[in-house]
Every structure is written in structure tokens, then in C-alpha cells.
A and B are shown apart, each in its own frame.
Chain A
Amino acid sequence: MCPSFFLKNKHAVDPEDRPSSPTKPSEMIAPKVRRPLFRLSEMPISIRIRFMVFVSILVSILFLLVIMMLLLTGTLTAGQKDAAEYFSRSLRQAKADVELDFGKTSMQAIEMSKTVSSSIEEYLSNYDISPADLQSRPDILEDILDAQFERLIFSLEKSGTSGAFIILDATINPNLENAESSRSAVYVRNMEPNAVSSGTPNMTMLSGYPEIARDRGYSLNSIWSMEFDLSLMPDYELIREASIGEKELRRIFLWSEARPLPGSNEDVMFCIVPLIDESGQFFGVCGFEVSGMLFKLRYSPDTTLYKRVTSLICPYKENRLLMVGKSLGGGNDNSIRTILSESQSDVSETAMIVAKNQNSIRIYRFVSSAQTISITLRNRYFVGIHDTLALLPSDSVFIDRSYSLMMLMPEHEYGSMLGKNNFKIIALCASFIIIGALMAVFMSRKFAAPIIHDLNRLAAAGDGDVSADDPMKTPEIMAILDQIRSRHPQKEVSDEADVLFDDFLSKIRRLTPTERQIVLRYLEGNTTTEVLDSMFISASTLKTHNSHIYTKLDVVSRDELQLYFRLLEKTGGLEDLRKSLNISMD
């Protein structure tokens, strides 16, 4: 008899019956969530699947831990950080180099202006004319420039730039149609400013009197012109106006925007300084040229790690417009200029603006002040950074003119680079997940196999015991089996029991048909009265038969006979006994 309280608590308690204030952690979970979880936990799920889920959860937790570690250590964002650092470092270095070199060039241009001005003024004193009156004596322009040629060449070589010029505010033939924009000049280009040549430097005359060059063994540039076309130097008039009443050359020089030389696709920037006489009169300009090729050779970023990076120097307007259409570029091909020329947009008015800031890196897009931006450019984005350059002194008359240095990479290159950087990590994670899943499946099978094997054997054994031929593999199940055995000891079906059983069956054969009927009725569980009624015999006859049965079966009482019946029942031999009794009866 089980105590009633035990019976009451035999079944699981429905969670909804629990008291309202939670006392256990599981009670803190909302009922709506708890109920399905509870039902889930109560559902019959095979050992293998349970274990597979367990291992999968373990793998997932480990994976999340790894991800967290990668995030905390910044490994996942390493590519972005490296790129940002690269841009920052490259820009910093290039900016320092550009400002230093351009600053030196500016100083040398100012120095050249002073010496040339002084020299020309002295020369003209022989003709009793001032430099501002040059136009009155076009016949001596060639001589003036001829006298300055060696100085110009010397300055050019010293500056290391790609060109040097002296432009006088006079033209040899004021009667020509284009006289307004034509100026007498000597302009020499160094085609290889980076090379130190043991022979004749690779210099050609771009503008000037041909005999000045030929007398000294210099050739004329392929796009040579006799005089300088001022349309190439729109800042000429600005400089002229700025020089009125201003003697400090360092305040009135400037760096121009980049423009292509006429008849070529080579862009150049000028450092322009006015020529001023003692009385402060403007009579021309002089200066140096920095070509696109020179900029590329001197200020290209290191492309060892990041191949398609471009550096650009360009005007910076309204604090946001980077006028890339008027820039000099360095770096590998696919430069901005190449893209602009291919887009067939109005290059000169094309600019870039910052579309987005992404941590330390910016994303740039194209805009144009002249017209609608072409589709080609609209869909091109670049990634990088920029910074303003200090090319002019703070008290310059042209201080509003701003320049910027940019380091850029095409956005798709940047994305591809980041993707590749993270590819290994992603591949690792994916492999981790897949291997973990496979291991979960594999291990769950391995784990469950012996358990299932032992359970299957138990099921197969039924009321009997498991065979010794196929030993159990699970100690826990073996322990349970031992416990069951100890509570319900089974007589082992030994060879002796078999002998006993066979002996009993053989003795059954000795019984007469009437005696077998009686034994059968005892086996069916009939009482003495029921036997007498069913067989229509007297009590004394039954007593006699019983005595004969006992003697033949070698038992002493009906109880012992019943014991044999129970033994046979347990060992599964009852059916055989019934058959024997029936066959015998037949």
C-alpha cells in the first residue's frame, strides 16, 4: 500500500499551479516561454538527438566565445584599421614631403624673381627704359631673354622641378590677332627631372626664341611656340593686380591649378612669382613648373600592400569641394584623371566631396558644378582621406586659395581587400561550424550507440536475462540490471534446470490420460471442486489419482506441483508442458 501523499506527488506538478511569486530560477522565466520549454523537455527525444543538440550548443557557445575574442582583440576589424593606418601614415608622409618640396620651390622661385628682375632692370638701364615699358622695345626682347637663359637653366636644375619660365609682359608682334594673350618668354622643360644625367640634361624649350635654344644645343619641344599663351596661365592677371603696391614677393606668389599643356595630355602646376622693378612696377612673371609625371615619381604612395592607391594634389574650394579635375596625381594607373577622361565629363569642373565618414576613413563621390555628373562617375566611389596643404604663407594675398592632398583607393578595391582580409577568418569560422556540426552528429552516434545497444539487448531478453555471449557495454545500465536482478532474483536457466525440466516433462509422459487431464486442470488453476465437477469423478477417486500423479512426477504435494508450474512459467516452458499434456492426451 503506497502512502497517499506519495500517490499525490507521483505526477508532475503543472507549472500553472505553482505559487505566483517565483522561488526558483526556472520560475523567473515568463510562463509563455516556460510552458513550451517545459513541454519540450518532457517530450520523448532520443538519446542520440539529445546528445547531438547538446554538442551543437557547446560548439555554438565556443564559436561565440571565439567571435567575442576576435571582436575584443579587434581581429575582425583589423583590415579596416590597417587600411586607416596606412592612409593616415601615407598622407602624413606625403603631406610633409609636398609641403617641404613645394615650399623650397616657392623660395627658389622668389629668389629667381629677385635676381631676374634686378638683372633685367640693369640691362634695360643701358637703353634708358624701365622694365614696365618693355612693350615699347619689342626688338630687344630676344636679347633680354637670351641674357637670362643661363640663369634660368641653373635655377631649373637647382630646383629639381620639371620646368622653369620667365614671361615678360610684352609681345614681339603687338599687331597679331592673338597679341593680347601672347607674351614673350623663355620656358624650358626638363623631361627627366629625377635623373642626374652625366651628359646633356634632357631639356627642351617649350616657349621662346629658337635661336636662344639652338645656340646652346637645346632642341625645341614637340609643342614649342614662339611666345607663351596666357590662356595656359589664367592667374597671370591676378598676380599682376596683386603686385600693385605690394613689394613683398612672398605675399604675392601663388601655386596654380593643374592644367594640361596645349597639344598634350600632360598636366602641370605652376609656381608663379611676379617680376617687379625697383619702383614696384610689374613687368612679367617667372617661376617653376611641376608636371604630373614629376608628381607621380616623387609623391606616389607606397603600393606594396595596397596596389591601386592614388595620391592627388588639387584645389580645395568652399571647404568641401576637392577639385580633382584640376589635380596632379601619383600612384598606379586607374588614377582619377584617367577615370575623368574616360567619363568624357567636363573635367575641369569635376570635384569630389565626402559622401560618408567611416571611422577614420572617408568615402568620396564625384560632383560637378558645370553639369550633371555622368553615370560613369556617379557610380564610382573612392575611399581614403585628405588634408589641406600649407603652400602659401598665412599673410599671403591669396590665402583664400586652398589646396588639398588626397590618398584614394577605388571603393570596390577597398571592399575586396577587406573581404580578402576577413576571408580567412570567415573561412575558419565556417569550417569550425561545419566541423562542429559533423562532430556533433558523429559523437552523438558514438555516444548513443552502446546505450542503445544495451537497451536493445534488454528489450530482446524480455523476462529472461541477457546472454553472456554479447556482454553489455554501458556500466550504468549494467548497474541498473544488477539492481533489478537483486530485487527480482531469477533462477538462472542453468544446465541443471534444463535437466530438471526435461526430467519433469519426461515424467509427464508416464501419466495416464485421466491423470494428465487432472494435471492440466491444476495447471489452469482449477480448484479441487472444479476438477471434481468437470471430470465427473468422486473425491476419493480424485484422491487416488492425485496420489498416483505425485508419485509419478516425484512431488510430495500439490504445492510442490504448483511450484514446478511457476518455474516453468518463468522460464517460458509452460507452453511446452501444455503441449506435452495435450499430446499425451492425444
Chain B
Amino acid sequence: MYTKFFRSKALVLIVCMVFSFATVLSGCKRSLLNPDKPVTITMWHNYGGQMKILMDDLVSEFNRTVGEEEGIIVSVTAIAGSKELHEMLVSSAEKQPGALALPDLTTAYPKTAVLLEQKNLLCDFKEYFSKSELEAYVEDFVAEGYLGDEKLYVFPIAKSTELLFVNRTIFDRFASACGFSIDDLGTFEGISHAATAYFEWTDAMTPDIEGDGKAFFMADSLFNQALVGSRQLGSDFLFETDEPNTFELDTRSEAFSQIWDAYFNSAAQGGIAVFDGYSSDLFKTGDLVCAVGSTAGVLYYPTEVTYSDNTQEAVDYSYLPYPVFEGGDKIALQRGGGMCITAQSAANRLAASIFVKWFTAPEQNLRFTLSSGYLPVTSEAFEELFETDLSSLTGKPVSEQLETILYMYEEYQFFFAPYSENYDALQKNFETTLRKEVSSVRDQISNQSGSDTDQSFSGFSDDVLRQLQEGEN
């Protein structure tokens, strides 16, 4: 009996050994990810400058911790501004000659995601996030990533809005000389008025040279200004056409007329900058006093202005709420891109989703946003901002800006821009046309001598507006 027992035991042991042995040798995969054979996922993002250091730190930390446990290595292979990144992604998606291969993961705005989605290059985040996991995020932020159907293509990682950046150092000099106050910048009409006055004030500093006054104000996106302004005035700048998923611009509404009036004359004169770039560029050289731009760009505004003789002046900033058109409601745009998974293999998609989960977890998300000027995307982190003394957590520009943003979230309504296939084209066309026409008018005005400027502006304004309206037809 003992022998039988022993025999059976030995048999079981041998079977177990053989099984273990076979398993070891077979190298069978139990899951898509294997810490012993990590997958490398490539990532593109638009966090340059100071934010690059932060992103590098976070990516390194992930690779060292969760990445090592799960078998994931994140490798950043491109960093570019959002506009350039959009072009790169479109080139890659269309496989244009010389374009780089699409990365596995990229930051992108919805307008880029729409184009990628048309080519079936995007992954639905709902395959990797459960309902309860998604509920931890601010609902509105998540909603923006759906692109019109039930699939979540753009996952919120950091949100932003727009506000008014003011170089107080220069503004205070102007304000005390010309009798303006910071409150005048609460409306676009007030800004326009100040812009005209500033141009004249700076022009007068060089009496020998006529018309060399400086620009006072600029909106990083004229399109966004029109979009938000229309909403503030109870209208819509975009309307859907009969063609599905296609918008057109409404430049004939009363709201747009008010927007136009607050813009054109100052722009034609030179008080509002006509510049195909970011306002932070002009701030670097003291060629702008205030601008409406994304809160995500706070770190791009220089701490010193460099003048043409290479002298430098330290700058103080004020971060004011987004201006409102007279008679309009306090409404602002919700901005900020997210991340899109463009990986094509199942393992890489899973790896990318794990990185996004970690990156947007409250701890990491707060670290990123507090250092960059973005807003966190989880409800937990977002509410923590309201309860925290921000100046103790982060540097001056970001903390002061955050105070304004939190004020706006209490006082303003927010909306995110609807996206369509032709959104990008509409935006480019509108802004390019406007810049071109206004520049042309400037040249014409500067060539005129002794004529009634107001009358000229009025005439030009009608002409250009008519061109815009006809162009939309």
C-alpha cells in the first residue's frame, strides 16, 4: 500500500515537473504585455519649452515605475507646436512623401482627431476605460473627445481656456499717460478703444516718422474670438449646412457686425496686430501690450522684454478674465487637446492606454497642470484646485493665472467648439483672408495722404466685410 501511495505521489510529481518544464520551454504568452519583453511606444506631443522638462520627467518616471512593471517603454520622438504637430500628423496620416511614421500616441486637438478618425487611425478609449473609470473625469472634458459619435477618440489630459494676458509694465505706463485703467480691458470694445489710443500714443513718440505706432492687442485666434463673441451675443458663428458634418460661417448676423466693428478699425489702423503667429512672440519684443490667448501658453510669455537695442526690461503680468462684448454674456471657450492612440497593434494600444491612465491620474495630472498652466481633468484634482492655496504650490505666473481661471469657472459658462470635417479649412481661410485684407487696407491707408481716416476706415470696413460675406457664399 505504501508502495502504491509512493508511486502515485511520484507520478504526480513527475507530471508536474514535466508540465512546468514544458511551460518554461514553450514561452507561452499569458498576456499582451510582458515585463521581460517590454513594448516601446512612440509619442509625439506639443509641450515644448519649459513644459518639455516636465514631460520628460513624467515620461522617465513612468518608464521607471509602471512601465517597468508592465513592460512598457514610452519614447518621445517628436515635440512641436500644436499647429506644426497638426501638420505633421496630417502628413503622416496621408502618408505624404517624406512624412514620418505615425506615432503610437500623440497629443492632438479635436480638429486633428477628426481628420485621423476619417482614416480609421484612432482607437476608442472606451475599450480600455471602464464606465466607473471615466466617471472620475470632469464630464464636460470627456464629452469633448467624442467627435460626434459614441466613440471616445480624444482623451482629455489637460484642459485650458482663454484669457487676457496683459503686460502691466507697459500698460501702466500707457494707462497713466492716456487716462486708461485695467477695467477698460473688460470688453472688446474697451480694448479696441485702448488699442487706437495706444497706437497714437506710441506713434507720437517718433514725430519724424508717421504711422509707426505699435500694436496694443491681438487675439491668437481671430476665429475663436468670432466664435466666442457670437455666443456671448446670443448668436452662432457656425451653422450646419445641408451637407452632413459641414459648417459654414455666419458673417451677416448682428452679433458678427458688432464683433467686426470692435475689430476692423483698430486693426486697419495698427492698434490691433495683424500677425500670423502667436502673441507671445510679439510680447518678447515689447510689440504687444495685451492678448487673448490660451492659458496653456502662459509659460511662453517672456519674463523680460527685449528691445531693438538689446536692452531688456522685466515684465509684470496681469491675467484677466476673457473679455466680453458689450451687452453680451460671460461665455468662454473650453480648449485643450487630449491624447489620441494611433497605435495599430493590440499590445501597443494597451500600453498606450496604460500610460494615459497613469498620466491623467490625479497625482500626476496635478503635477503637470500646476507647472504648466493647464487645468486638471479628473474631478478630484479639479476640486482640489479650488481648495488649495495655489501660490504655495506653484510659481507666480501659473498660480496667478489659475486664480483667474477658477474665477471664470465660477462666473462664466463654457462651451467647446463643434468639430466638422471642414472646421480646419474654415478657420484657416477666415483668418488668412482677414489678415490679408487688413494688411492690404493698411497699405492703402498708409499710401493715402490728407484723406478722412474715419471715412476711409468705414469704406474699407464695408468692402472687406462684403468680401468676407461673399467669400462664404
Contacts and interface: CB of A to CB of B under 8 A. Distances in A.
Interface of A: 171-173, 176, 182, 191-192, 194-199, 202, 209-210, 214, 217, 219-220, 222-227, 263-266, 293, 296-297, 303, 307-308, 332-334, 338, 342, 420, 423-424, 427-428, 431, 434-435, 438, 441-442, 445
A227 B281 CA distance: 16
22 contacts: A171-B310, A191-B79, A192-B84, A192-B88, A195-B91, A195-B98, A197-B88, A222-B299, A264-B50, A264-B53, A265-B52, A307-B37, A307-B40, A332-B75, A333-B74, A334-B63, A338-B56, A338-B60, A424-B25, A427-B24, A431-B20, A441-B10
A198 B59 contact: no
B104 to A, nearest CB: 14
B364 interface: no
Interface in B60-86: 60, 63-64, 67, 73-75, 77-81, 84
B60 A438 contact: no
Interface in B279-301: 280-281, 284-285, 287, 299-300
B17 interface: yes
B277 interface: yes
Nearest to B307: A226
A225 B36 CA distance: 46
Contacts of A209: 308
B73 A196 contact: no
Interface string B289-327: 000000000011000001011110000000000000000
A435 B25 contact: no
A295 to B, nearest CB: 12
A214 B84 CA distance: 17
A172 B49 contact: no
Given A176-B310, A226-B310, A264-B49, A202 B75 contact: no
Contacts of B309: 172-173
Given A176-B311, A424-B24, 15 more contacts: A173-B310, A182-B310, A191-B79, A191-B81, A197-B98, A198-B91, A202-B80, A202-B88, A307-B40, A334-B63, A334-B64, A420-B36, A427-B24, A428-B21, A438-B10
B148 to A, nearest CB: 27
B60 A198 contact: no
A342 B65 CA distance: 14
B79 A197 contact: no
A555 to B, nearest CB: 53
A185 to B, nearest CB: 11
Nearest to B59: A333
Given A264-B53, A334-B64, A173 B80 contact: no
B310 A431 contact: no
Nearest to A332: B73
A191 B84 contact: yes
A478 to B, nearest CB: 23
B49 A222 contact: yes
Residue with the greatest number of chain A CB neighbours at <10 A, chosen from B7, B38, B75, B99: B75
Contact of A333 (B60, B88, B99, B276): B60
Given A263-B49, A307-B73, A333-B75, A195 B284 contact: no
B91 A223 contact: no
Contacts of B53: 264-265
A263 B24 contact: no
B68 to A, nearest CB: 9
Nearest to B67: A333
